Amino acid sequence: MENYTKYKLKSNDELASLLADKDHLFIIACNKCFKEFETVDEPDCGEFEKIAADCGKTVTGSARVDFLCNKTQTEKKLQDMIPEGTENVFVVSCGLGIQTVAELSGKPVYAASNSLNYRGHHGMALTKKSCDACAQCYLNITGGICPIVDCSKSLVNGQCGGAKNGKCEVDSSKDCAWEKIYKRLEKQGRLSEFLNQPVQVRDYSKVNFKVVQDYVKSIREDRLEGYYGGVHPLERKEFTEHLPLKKFPDPEVVVIPLSMHAGAPANPVVQVGDTVKVGQKIAEAAAFISSPVHSSVSGTVIAIEPHKHATRGECMSIVIRSDGKNTLHESVKPNKDLESLTPDEIVEIVREAGIVGMGGAGFPTSVKLKPPKPIDTILLNGCECEPLLTADHRVLLEFADDVIFGLKAVMKTVNAEKGLIVIEDNKPDAIKLLQEKTADCDGIEVVVAKTKYPQGAEKMLIKRVMKRQVPSGGLPADVGCVVSNISTVKAISDAIQKGMPLVERVVTVTGERLRNPGNYIVKIGTNTKDLIDYCGGVTGDDITIKAGGPMMGFVLPDVNVPIMKGSNGIIAVDTDHTVEQPCIKCGRCVDVCPMELSPLYFAKYADEENWQGMKDKNVMDCVECRCCEYICSSKIPLVTKIKAGKNAVRGMK
């Protein structure tokens, strides 16, 4: 693979002249973007160290840094990198990296390399730029097509002869720029005019990196608003965001898994043949981190046996045949009013109702409501940043009063002064409604957040709204926050005001391959296939069904699995047939990781089974948001490799 890094050390004579009146040098080399991931150390750094030593210069140290132009990452690395006694810093990098170090180091900075221009896609810009700031425009003679940006080799006098079937030999996905130029000039009757032009000589001394630097800076400021990294995939919420909630027809049989939550599976408290009612406890929590399970229908227990499960493959489940009557259990009755309930009583109600995080994680909510540290703010996550999903959006619109009640209950339980309902700006109707309804609520405020994925991840939400950083390995409580999902607090409201345990939830059934998408209130234990069939089934043959959203959802190889407490969506999308290619070290995964990690190393170390390396690179801090995989130029299944690394690290002694 061609090394896309178009810079190299200046000549020995030029470097000797540059070094003549300088000493006590610190050398920083960029580990070059766009190259095969075959080495970590940039060899040009060692070469320059030898040249400096031959000139009798004192080298105070050297460092090799990935993606120097990534200002956020480089700033952190430079803090303790440059030793005392350093007088001059020499950088082996492209122009963007040199300027980044010059801005951050506080020392005189010199370029040890010849920095050629960046060509359209800089490693860290994550955007396309049609002008290369070369200060010598060729558009007038090439028919308006830029040979610098559009040609992989930046040729200025015609094609190299390496194109095949109109595609560039350097990048087979790219059209040959010069074939396009020739065709356009020929169409304009100007081809002979071009061929009679004198040879063009490009003057690289004219390259204006300031234009490129300013452009990248403006893009980065916009992208990093609120928190580092993140992406903005196509939202595709238009399929269902306007569709009101509908009650899904009651199933004849429900299969209720005993594990729909983090922690230990629940233990059955019913037997085959027992008659049960809606809201009746059918399995009790088996540990502190566990949750009870309740019947979503009235009827007869016909089996307690392993059944297929969306995320675990198979799970012990209670199978109930409905009698169609939906008879409520005697325990389902309203509790005292909120003012009369103590925090401990609210926690007990939530625990007994089997309420868990309904955004997908499934952590028992009663545990979250007993934080080990003081809490000053509740963040209600109404972002729903996953593409396609609109379940929480519809809950906000149709159960706003219940959401506010549930928030007040959580605030009272943890003695929080503030409750912030955070809604992304792509839901203006929900923002307007909640602002109206909370106008007179003391301590409750609606926060409008710029739409960005994965803003709904609790650590990102806290950083975006509170400007607080949850420490590595820490919890929101460490910074005085509790984060809860919209549907979760609605369930808390139902448990307090109606006495109803968590036996149903809102599910978005959608996707470009689903005939009739919709938002449904679905009983826990309903068969996923029944939902898909009710929505008209899928169109086409090569379809992937996922539980959850397209970013963090799980592929369902078999749709005969039950809807669970965390099932916020079922989506039908086109199957992805992209093929993994070798990492080209473009750095985009580093640029989008909201946890400020280096996912490219996770892929490398997983392939080498270097689990200690993954641990050292803080793989356990990864939230598996899939931003890195979404942006990966080489289509590497990074999250799969990260999960393998996490499992290996957990097993390390």
Q: How confident is the model at residue 118 (pLDDT cuts 50, 70, 90)?
A: very low
Mean pLDDT, residues 150-162: 86
* Cα angle for residues 270, 322, 524 (degrees, 5° grid): 75
pLDDT, position 241: 95
Mean pLDDT of 101-120: 69
Global pTM reads 0.79
Distance CA 571, CA 192 (A): 56
Res. 371: pLDDT tops 90: yes
Lowest mean pLDDT among 249-253, 371-375, 577-581: 577-581
| Statement: residue 121 has pLDDT above 60 | no
Contact in structure between 88 and 26 (CB atoms under 8 Å): yes
CB 201 within 8 A of CB 145: no
User: CA 194 to CA 351: how far, in whole Å?
Assistant: 78
What is the average per-residue pLDDT within 450-465?
93
Looking at residue 3, its pLDDT comes to: 43
> Amino acid identity, residue 341?
L
Mean pLDDT, residues 578-582: 87
In this predicted model, what pLDDT tens digit does every residue of 28-48 receive, in sequence order?
Answer: 988 877 666 655 556 678 889
Average pLDDT value for residue range 348-357: 96
Q: Higher model confidence: residue 114 or residue 209?
A: 114
Question: Region 459-485: what's the mean pLDDT?
Answer: 93
Averaged pLDDT score across all residues of the chain: 89
pLDDT value at residue 129? 58
The predicted structure's pLDDT at residue 125? 46
Beta bridge partners of 23: none
Q: What is the pLDDT of residue 258?
A: 96
**pLDDT at residue number 46:** 86
Cβ–Cβ under 8 Å, residues 519 and 567: no
More confident residue, 53 or 209: 53
What confidence tens digit (pLDDT) does each residue in 274-311 have? 999 999 999 999 999 999 999 999 999 999 999 999 88
| pLDDT the model gives residue 122 | 41
Q: What digits encode the pLDDT tens for the residues 409-449?
A: 999 999 999 999 999 999 999 999 999 999 999 999 999 99
If DSSP codes are grouped into helix, strand and coil, which group holds residue 278? strand
Q: What is the mean pLDDT of residues 463-492?
A: 94
